[in-house]
Amino acid sequence: MNYFLTEEQVMIRDLARQIADEVIRPTAAKLDEEEKFPYEIMKTLANADLFGVYIPEEYGGLGFGCFELCLAVEELSKACGGVTTTYAASALGTFPILLFGNEAQKQKYLPDVARGTKLAAFGLTEADAGSDASGIQTTAVSDGDYYILNGTKQWITNGGEAEIYVIIAMTDKNKGSRGASAIIVEKGTPGFTFGKKEKKMGIRCSATTELIFQDCRVPKENLLAREGFGFIVTMKTLDRARPGVAAQSVGIAQGSLDLAVKYAKERVQFGKPISSFQGIQFMLADCATQIEAARALTYSVARMIDAGEKDISKESAMSKLFASDVAMKVTTDVVQIFGGYGYMREYPVEKMMRDAKITQIYEGTNQIQRHVIALGLIKESGSN
C-alpha cells in the first residue's frame, strides 16, 4: 500500500527500521527473559534523534508530528514491543507538557526529552482508578507556593527510569473530575519514591512501577494549565497518544506476520512447504489484510491530529481499538502457523503474542475505547 510518505518520513521510517534490525532484534529475547531495561537501545534511539521526532524545533526536536512518531513506533515494534513501550510512554508523559505547558515549562523540560537524556512518564492510574479516571485518590493540597502530594500511583510505565513525571492529583476532592490537576514532578523530589517493579506477561524489558508520594512538596509553577484542568489534560493526552498504541500494535502484528510468511515457505510437511496449503494461505491472507486496514486507520488518525483537527477522541479510540485487536488476532494466528515451534520460547513469536496483549489494555481498555467511540457517535448525531 502506498501511503505517499515524504522523503523525510521515509528517512525516519528507514532509520527506525535499521535500528530495529541491527540493535533491537538481536537482543530482544534476552531483554525479555532477563526483564532488563533497554538502556543501550535508549541511547541508540537518543543518538539517532528519534526521541525528538514529534517535538518542535524551538525545543530541540525534529519538528515533526504524531504521524512520524507512529512511523518510528511501528518500525521499532516489529522487533520488540517492550522497547517501544518505553519509547512511546516517554511521549505519553511529554504530550501534557507540549499541549498544556507554559513557555517556561516547555523550555525547561522539552529539550532534555527531545535529546533523549531524560525520559518522561504519565502518572494517572491507581489501585482503584483505572478505567474510571476520575476516581483517583492522590491529593495535591495547596500550601503557599507549593502543593503537597500524597498517594500512590500504580503500573506506571517508565517508573523509576524517567526523570519527568506528569501526575494527576486531586486539588479539590469535592469537585469530582473537575477537581483534578496535572502537576509535573521531578525524580529526586523529597517525598517521591518508587514502589515495587512489576513482573509482567509481556513487554517485559519495560519498567512498570508504583510511584509513592508522601508529603512531597512540589512548586506551584509545575502546575499544567490551571487547577481543576487535570481531567481534560488526561483526556486530551490520551486522545493524542492512542494512535501510538495503534502503531505499536501494527508493528508487532507486522513483525510476527513477516516471520510467519518466511517460516511457512521453509517448513515442509507432507512433502511440501506449508505455504502451499490453502489453510495456511488463508490465515496469512487474513492477517495481511487486517494489518493493512489497521495501518491505514492509524495513519489517517495521526494525520488528522497533525492537521490540527480538534475533536479526535472517537477516531483516536477507533485506531487503538482496531489495531490492538488485530495485533492480538494476528500474533495468535502466527503462533498457530508455527505450531509447536511457535509455543517454544526459542522462537520469537510467543513473545510477540504476549507483547500484543497489553495493547488491548493500556491507555484505556478496548471496552473503554468502545465507550468513547459510542459517546462520539451519539454526540455527532445531535439532539434528536
Q: Which of 208, 236, 246 is nearest to 70 (CA)?
A: 246
Nearer to ligand COS, 283 or 302 (CB): 302
Cα 30 to the chain's mean position, in Å? 22
Among 125, 171, 208, 254, binds ligand COS (CB under 6 A): 125
| Cα separation, 317 vs 67, whole angstroms | 16
In the bound state with ligand COS, the residue whose beta carbon lies nearer, of 149 and 260, is 149
Pattern 266-305, ligand COS, x by CB under 6 A? ----------------------------------------
Distance of alpha carbon 240 from alpha carbon 246, whole angstroms: 11
Rounded Cα distance, 132 and 13, in Å = 36
For residues 277 and 279, give the distance between their C-alpha atoms in angstroms, rounded to a whole number: 5
CB 211 within 8 A of CB 192: yes
DSSP-assigned letter for residue 125: -
Distance of closest approach, residue 131 Cβ to ligand COS, in angstroms: 5
Binding mask 222-261 for ligand COS (x = CB under 6 A): ---------xx--xx-xx----------------------
Cα(first)–Cα(last) distance of the chain, in Å?
40
Residue nearest to ligand COS (CB): 364
> Which residues are designated catalytic?
363
Nearer of residues 109 and 122 to ligand COS, judged by Cβ = 122
CA distance 239 to 156: 18
Q: Indicate which single residue of 20, 53, 133, 284 sits in contact with ligand COS (rule: CB under 6 A).
A: 133
| Contact range with ligand COS by CB under 6 A, out of 7-15, 130-138, 142-150, 271-279 | 130-138
**Integer Cα distance of 247 and 39 in angstroms:** 22
Provide the minimum distance between the beta carbon of 14 and ligand COS in the complex, in angstroms, as a whole number. 30
Pick 230 or 251: Cβ nearer ligand COS: 230
Shortest Cβ distance from residue 133 to ligand COS (Å)?
Answer: 4
Give Cα 42 distance to the centre of its chain: 15
Strand 208-219 vs strand 146-157: parallel, antiparallel, or unpaired? antiparallel
SS3 (DSSP) at 116: coil
Among 16, 62, 253, 368, binds ligand COS (CB under 6 A): 368
Give, to the nearest 10 degrees, the angle between helix 103-115 and helix 81-100.
160
Interface with ligand COS, residue 371, by CB under 6 A? yes
Cα angle, residue 269 at apex, residues 264 and 270 outer, rounded to 5° = 140
Q: Which is nearer to ligand COS, 94 or 254 (CB)?
A: 94
Binding mask 134-153 for ligand COS (x = CB under 6 A): x-------------------
DSSP states of 257-288: HHHHHHHHHH-EETTEEGGGSHHHHHHHHHHH
By the 10 Å C-beta count (0-12 exposed, 13-18 middle, 19+ buried), 267 is classed as middle
Q: Are 191 and 215 in contact (CB under 8 A)?
A: yes
Residue 363 in the binding site for ligand COS (CB under 6 A): yes
Residue 168: how many CA atoms within 13 Å on its side-chain side? Answer: 32
Q: Which stretch binds ligand COS (CB under 6 A): 44-52, 78-86, 334-342, 356-364?
A: 356-364
To ligand COS, the closest distance from the beta carbon of 348 in angstroms equals 27
Nearer to ligand COS, 42 or 133 (CB): 133
Provide CB contacts within 8 A for 86, sequence distance 6+.
37, 38, 42, 119, 157, 158, 161, 205, 206, 207
Examine residue 200 and tell whether it contacts ligand COS (CB under 6 A).
no
Binding mask 301-340 for ligand COS (x = CB under 6 A): ------------x---------------------------
Site stretch for ligand COS (CB under 6 A), options 183-191, 319-327, 343-351, 364-372: 364-372
Instruction: For the segment 71-110, give every residue that binds ligand COS (CB under 6 A).
Output: none
Q: If binding is defined by CB under 6 A, does position 364 make contact with ligand COS?
A: yes
- For position 373 contacting ligand COS by CB under 6 A, the verdict is no
338, 263 contact by CB (below 8 A): yes
The three three-digit cell numbers of residue 147, written as one number: 502543593
Footprint on this chain of ligand COS (rule: CB under 6 A) = 122, 124-125, 130-134, 177-178, 231-232, 235-236, 238-239, 313, 362-364, 368, 371-372
